[in-house]
Amino acid sequence: MELSLLINLFDVPGCLVVLNPVGSGNVNDTFNAIFRNTFDEHQVILQKINRKVFPEPEAIMRNLRRLTVHAHPKLLAEEEKQTADRVWQMPMIVQTKDKKDFYTDEDGQLWRVITKIPSATAFDSAQGTEHALECGAVLGHFHWLVSDLPTEQMVEPIPGFHVTPRYLRQYDETVENSSRAKELLRASTEVRRMEMFINERREFAYTLQQAMDRGELKLRMMHGDPKVNNIMIDNFTGKGTAMIDLDTVGPGLVHYDFGDALRSICNHAGEEESNLSKVVFDMNLFESFCRGYLRQARQFMTDADREYLYDSVRLITFELGLRFFQDYLAGDIYFKTQYPEQNLNRARVQFRLCESIESKERMIRESLAKL
Ligand SMILES: Nc1ncnc2c1ncn2[C@@H]1O[C@H](COP(=O)(O)OP(=O)(O)O)[C@@H](O)[C@H]1O
Ligand SMILES: [Mg+2]
């Protein structure tokens, strides 16, 4: 079906004037639609949910419905009390004209429309300390919004996504069973060094899982993909206003989000850097992000939660390095590559970042204790 016909199945007031693809996401197909009538304008986001990433998109939409039913009243109550120093937002589902949350097309693809966060930008990388602080505030506020959403109300969108020991098992299986892996390990001292790097951190890989098993950390709701380009910043005030890309929201540890956001924000060099000396963990961005985050997260975080914040940054960085390395050994099955050793290089970058984090452990812990 033509996109312009498809969008008209949804209940948006006015006449469609523009329907444009939106650039930088790499999971869903996203379009921006503008509808006008005599006195005003409605902008919405049309998306096709990627079935390869989310095998059960209907479940994703049920999650989104539960999430918004829980969070929107909290947002409205906050707005009424005017206790916040800004307006917090969260996209809303726009139903079809026959009152469904999504439309399934003739190929079985699932389309949905959500409201657009107006006059806001999702940057592709950290813009400086103020931006980092706002990113922290948005994530912390989001975690507060969902901190009392019962975990049994939501399904895990991608089961076991951040269970580090699971990746360790997968890695061990590859080393044991793949002849390519054996050959690479035999032929390269660097690959063997990376194997050692992993072996030295085996016990550490269980840290968060064990803390959860002991009951120190509680399963709550997490975002699942807290990259900077899923955090919207108001174009006029420069303040953070909303988390978007809500398909990965599900039960988990907020620590995974916290660690993952910092892993990506505090490394200027990005994930593809070939000059490893440029890969360092930026303490200024770290402190700013944490100041923004903890100011919001204070409302629900326990002392035990805070205990594990350092570990979460180290662990998520290690985990991603491990995943890249495992995929390189297995023959680039999961992460797409443009050149032969790209996943090896990605693993190098994350392991280097992990070492940089480890070398700053004392500073990181001290700075967390102060905030
Ligand atoms: N509700 C929204 N309001 C404003 N912009 C949005 C909204 N949802 C998505 N976008 C824009 O579309 C891009 C891709 O959407 P996203 O949901 O993040 O998909 P992906 O999973 O592909 O990253 C975002 O980076 C953002 O620029
Ligand atoms: Mg996105």
- Total number of domains in the chain: 2
Is 19 within the bounds of a domain? Answer: yes
Is 111 within the bounds of a domain? Answer: yes
Q: Say if residue 218 is in the same domain as residue 362.
A: yes
Q: Using an 8 Å Cβ cutoff, are 334 and 327 in contact?
A: yes
- The closest alpha carbon to 234, from 331, 352, 117, belongs to 117
Is 236 within the bounds of a domain? Answer: yes
Structure-block tokens of residue 267: 């490394």
How far is it, in rounded angstroms, from Cα 68 to Cα 70? 5
Shortest-distance ligand to the CA of residue 30: 1
Q: Say if residue 327 is in the same domain as residue 350.
A: yes
How far is it, in rounded angstroms, from Cα 157 to Cα 248? 6
Q: Which residue minimizes the CA distance to atom 23 of ligand 1?
A: 25
* Helix 283-297 vs helix 361-370: crossing angle, to nearest 10: 40
Structure-block tokens of residue 121: 């930008």
Is 20 within the bounds of a domain? Answer: yes
Q: Say if residue 85 is in the same domain as residue 177.
A: no
Shortest-distance ligand to the CA of residue 23: 1
Question: Which residues sit with their C-beta closer than 6 Å to ligand 1?
Answer: 22, 24-28, 30, 45, 91, 114, 116-117, 122, 229-230, 244-245
H or E element, residue 222? strand 220-222
How far does the centroid of ligand 1 lie from the alpha carbon of residue 30, in Å?
7
Domain end point (choices 61, 93, 116):
116
Q: Say if residue 56 is in the same domain as residue 164.
A: no
Distances (CA, A) of 125 to 82, 151, 264, 285, 315: 31, 31, 8, 12, 21
CATH number at residue 279: 3.90.1200.10
Q: Which domain holds residue 79?
A: 3-116
Structure-block tokens of residue 182: 């054996």
Using CB atoms within 10 Å of the CB of residue 134, give its burial: 0 to 12 exposed, 13 to 18 middle, 19+ buried. Answer: buried
For the whole model, what pTM was predicted?
A: 0.95
Structure-block tokens of residue 264: 């990506």
How far is it, in rounded angstroms, from Cα 345 to Cα 342? 5
Query: One digit per residue, pLDDT tens: the chain, 371 residues?
Result: 899 999 999 999 999 999 999 976 667 899 999 999 999 999 999 999 988 888 899 999 999 999 999 999 999 998 888 766 789 999 999 999 999 999 999 999 999 999 999 999 999 999 999 999 999 999 999 999 999 999 999 999 987 777 899 999 999 999 999 999 999 999 999 999 999 999 999 999 999 999 999 999 999 999 999 999 999 999 999 999 999 999 999 999 999 999 999 999 999 999 999 999 999 999 999 999 999 999 999 999 999 999 999 999 999 999 999 999 999 999 999 999 999 999 999 999 999 999 999 999 999 999 999 98
Q: Say if residue 68 is in the same domain as residue 8.
A: yes
